[in-house]
Amino acid sequence: MNSKKSIFSNRNIYLIISFTVLIALMTIGSILLGPHLVDAVKDPQKFRELLGTGVKSYFIFLGIQMAQIIFAFIPGEVVEIGAGYVYGNFKGTVLCMLGSAVATFIIFGLTRMLGKKFTSIMIDSKDFKRLKFLQNEKNLELLFILLYFIPGTPKDLITYFAGVTKIKFGVFMVISTFCRIPSILTSTLVGSALGEERYLMSVIVFAITGVIAIIGLYVYHRISKKSNNEQE
């Protein structure tokens, strides 16, 4: 009996330490790195200079991509456009997918381990309520596929919420990694076109993506509203 209490006590201590370290990293990262990264990604040439050249630039970019998802202080599309500008469409897409996968792995693990209280802290109360429909086990995998596949849906928020649903870790990693491809691909294509000075192509792709994103956001709100109304 005492051993069980001791185990639970150690687990609680571990969770408190993990939570404290995460909050500290998020705060320090946002204060120290946030303003510099935001300025850099707004200017493609500055972004190229920030990343540098050679293999080290890949690791720097992966760190930025992971920070963007975990800390959420930079719009994801801006980083993806920067990746396309610096690395081209194909390589930029691969790097964005890899960074997203690692960040998703970290977020999902933390939210599943720390539970709803942690998730409710990381997500605004309105967004948390809107995402509650994902706790319905019916067609859960299909819903995640749809939400990650359509540009415009709040994928970073959905990633934080996924850990408190019934979806299996492996299934979620596959869905969240590969269903992001259309959204990432269009953003890196815009950046690649900018880097090659194909401005008309960049504007056309950006405009089409914008329209699809608006539609995707509308679909997301309709699905969440309908599902939550059915559960009430």
Residue 1: predicted pLDDT: 44
3-state secondary structure of 212: helix
Q: What proportion of the chain, given as a percentage, has pLDDT over 70?
A: 74
pLDDT band of 25, cuts 50, 70, 90: low
The pLDDT of residue 5: 45
Name residue 92's amino acid.
G
Contacts of 199 (CB under 8 A, 6+ apart): 193
Confidence of residue 3 (pLDDT cuts 50, 70, 90): very low
Name the residue with higher pLDDT: 182 or 11.
182
- 53 half-sphere exposure, CB direction, 13 A CA radius: 0
Contacts 24+ apart (CB under 8 A), 78-81: 78/41, 78/42, 79/41, 80/183, 80/184, 80/187, 80/188, 80/191, 81/44, 81/187, 81/188, 81/190, 81/191, 81/194
201-227 burial: b if 16+ Cβ within 10 Å, else e: ebeebbeebeebbeebeeebeebbeeb
pLDDT at 89 > cutoff 50: yes
Report the alpha-carbon distance of residue 106 to residue 95 in Å, rounded: 17
pLDDT digits (tens, 9 = 90+) for 108-127: 888 888 777 778 777 777 77
Q: What is the pLDDT of residue 93?
A: 92
207-226 pLDDT, tens digit each: 877 777 777 777 777 766 66
- Give pLDDT, residue 27: 60
Question: Which of 42-46, 96-100, 130-134 has the largest mean confidence?
Answer: 96-100
| CA torsion through residues 129, 135, 139, 142, sign | positive
Q: Which two tokens stand for residue 2?
A: 């005492």
| Model confidence pLDDT, tens digit, residues 55-79 | 888 988 888 888 788 776 666 778 8
Express as a percent the part of the chain with pLDDT over 90: 5
Q: 94 falls in which pLDDT band (50, 70, 90)? A: very high
pTM for the structure as a whole: 0.74
How much is the pLDDT for 196?
Answer: 78
Q: Span 198-203, mean pLDDT?
A: 78
Based on its alpha-carbon atoms, the radius of gyration of the chain, rounded to whole angstroms, reads 19
Average per-residue pLDDT for the chain:
76
Among 39-48, 65-74, 142-151, 198-207, the range scoring the smallest mean pLDDT is: 39-48
